[in-house]
Amino acid sequence: MQGTETFNFQSEVKQLLHLMIHSLYSKKEIFLRELISNAADATEKLRFQSLSTPGLYSGDLRLQISIDKEKRVLTLNDNGIGMQRNEVIENLGTIAKSGTKAFIDAIGSDQSKNNQLIGQFGVGFYSAFMVADIVSVRTRAAGTPSNQGVFWQSSGNGEYTIASVEKDDQGTEITLHLREGEDEFLDEWHVRRIVSKYSDHINLTIEIQTEQKKENGLIWEKINKAQALWTRKKTDITEDEYKEFYKHISNDFTDPLTWTHNKVEGKQTYINLLYVPSQAPWDMWSHDHKNGLKLYIQRVFIMDNAEQLMPNYLRFIKGLIDSNDLPLNVSREILQNSTIIKTLRGALIKRSLNMLEKLSHNYKEKYQTFWKHFGRVLKEGPAEDKSNIESITSLLRFSSTKFDDMAQTVSLNDYVNRMLPEQDKIYYITSDSYIAAKNSPYLEMFHSKKIEVLLLFDRIDEWMMNHLTEFKNKKFQSVSTSDDTLNKLTENDNEEQNKTDKSLEPFIKRIKSLLGTRVKDVSLTHRLSETPAIVTTDINDITPQMAKLFSASGQAAPEVKYLFELNPVHPLVRKAADIQNDVLFRQWIELFLDQALLTATGTLEDPNKFIRQVNQLLLK
């Protein structure tokens, strides 16, 4: 060895190594899956690089596994792309994966949570320390001379050693010195079972050194199918194989909810295999979250995270596409402007939405699991993808006044099928929380008339509703806006009511004079039963919830001018109508207005003033 140096691990790696060494994760065998996946990636990269640099390798690409029971050593040796010295330091001494700090913070001390997050993150190489007290690596990059091999070793104690060595073959050899108590991984047949379970589908030949010997050397036996799973007939692939392949490409330890596997031949020829995960990744809402499908061209791996193939609102979809029509030297820039990619993207979107539609119809509980984890992501769809808005809208789920439960289980089909004969609109309310929406005074009339209202309380909902206009020829209508349809619902040809309204005309005129331009208009309303007053907006004006979204994103929101509507039969309103003292009258009207604004917006410009007003009126 030459040029031996010792380095400290990056702080996040130290934390991750500590987690691996002290992990109680029950499936320690996954370290083998992770290392095999790394070897498969290394050989795929070599295939791709050899397209532009012929002669990088000859013969078959393979991974060989050997066991030395006496020395308690398990070795994995591939002839893939290999690494140079700087790559070894970068890949094995640091974690370049974005969001690692957030991942480490998320882990905390909850062991059950740790196990779940280990799977979501995909710990790769470092999982070896779950079973080994010393891990050694010998590697040489393809296309470099034999004297540029690199040796790396660590016991996971916070530092690692690196040196230059001679290495005859390109690729990477990983040697695990197994801890006491990990004897099962020295059993050849146990290792075979693990490979069969997790890696049968990998497009890389995996061989194991058998305990038999022959005169001219060792016997290596192939122990996996070594055929790209997606190229096989669907009828030949078991459910377990589909699930394990998902885990291989997604770094997720949980089973997918569903998948679709299709081979298309015609104007374009391609195979797609798409999965819906059963849980959201820990970094789902991070700006650094990587989404997109794996892209293969004629069975050759081209790139991960080809985001051009899938829109942002379907970023949770995992899987791959293997095309016969794209050039092998394709780049991300070419993908951006490729008409073939645009056609493939359109087809993949329809496949994905159709897969979700089938899930929602045939497996309602599974679809609720999907909605719990990815519903807010799918809600981005109406704004992003007008061409598929009907399919997206049918997949949306909402809470509703029909049920005393905040679970979002109601589809728009459900709602429309339950609409009253005289009802011609889909009514909804947006609010900051389920409780605020459910108890809103805007619903009082709808309760009395037994009209169902959708309760929307996710932050994205108001923005989404700006892009949804109708469903099955039924227009959407916010209950906090004022228009002719809502006014007709409140109309009641009642002589006593008309008489009351007439008698309160001077009262309304007095309020208009008092408030002036602070409100758009003042009127009486018969949509309330328990509340003295509300504010509404015209149907074309910005809503309070939308104004909040503007403010939260740092944008200046247009000024909202409200319609101030009072309940003519409420005792407090009747009391205020009889007040002659201008100061006291102002206090009551200001109180009604502030109450209404608080209901609509959840906040007040001057809450202390509101409290003073309430206190003053309580003393009178």
Residue set of the binding site for ATP: 34, 38, 78, 83, 91, 97-99, 120-125, 172, 332
Sorted by sequence, the CB contacts under 8 Å of residue 115 that are 6+ apart come out as 23, 24, 25, 26
Spatial separation of the C-alpha atoms in residues 490 and 569, rounded to whole Å = 14
Three-class SS string for 303-330?
A: EEEEHHHCCHHHCCCEEEEEECCCCCCC
Which residue positions form the known binding site? 34, 38, 78, 83, 91, 97-99, 120-125, 172, 332
Strand 217-222: give its sheet, edge to edge: 2-8, 159-165, 149-154, 132-140, 171-178, 73-78, 62-68, 205-214, 217-222
Label the pairing between strands 293-297 and 258-264.
unpaired
State how far Cα 286 lies from the chain centre.
9
Residue 154 corresponds to which tokens in the numbers above? 């660590």
Residue 36 corresponds to which tokens in the numbers above? 């095999």
Q: Are the C-beta atoms of 131 and 182 separated by less than 8 Å?
A: yes
Spatial separation of the C-alpha atoms in residues 229 and 243, rounded to whole Å = 11
**Residue in 102, 114, 87 with CA at minimum distance from that of residue 20:** 114
Sorted by sequence, the CB contacts under 8 Å of residue 500 that are 6+ apart come out as 568, 569
**Residue in 130, 135, 169, 134 with CA at minimum distance from that of residue 149:** 169
Spatial separation of the C-alpha atoms in residues 492 and 462, rounded to whole Å = 31
Spatial separation of the C-alpha atoms in residues 433 and 506, rounded to whole Å = 38
Q: Are the C-beta atoms of 194 and 33 separated by less than 8 Å?
A: yes
Strand 474-478: give its sheet, edge to edge: 399-400, 454-456, 425-430, 474-478, 470-471
Q: Where are the beta strands (DSSP E) in 388-467?
A: 399-400, 425-430, 454-456
Residue 597 corresponds to which tokens in the numbers above? 């604004």
Spatial separation of the C-alpha atoms in residues 137 and 176, rounded to whole Å = 9
Q: Tell me the CA distances in angstroms from 486 to 424, 460, 470, 594, one per residue in order.
A: 11, 25, 17, 23
The DSSP line for 485-517 is HHHHHH----HHHHHHHHHTHHHHHHHHHHHGG
Strand 258-264: give its sheet, edge to edge: 258-264, 270-276, 318-323, 293-297, 300-306
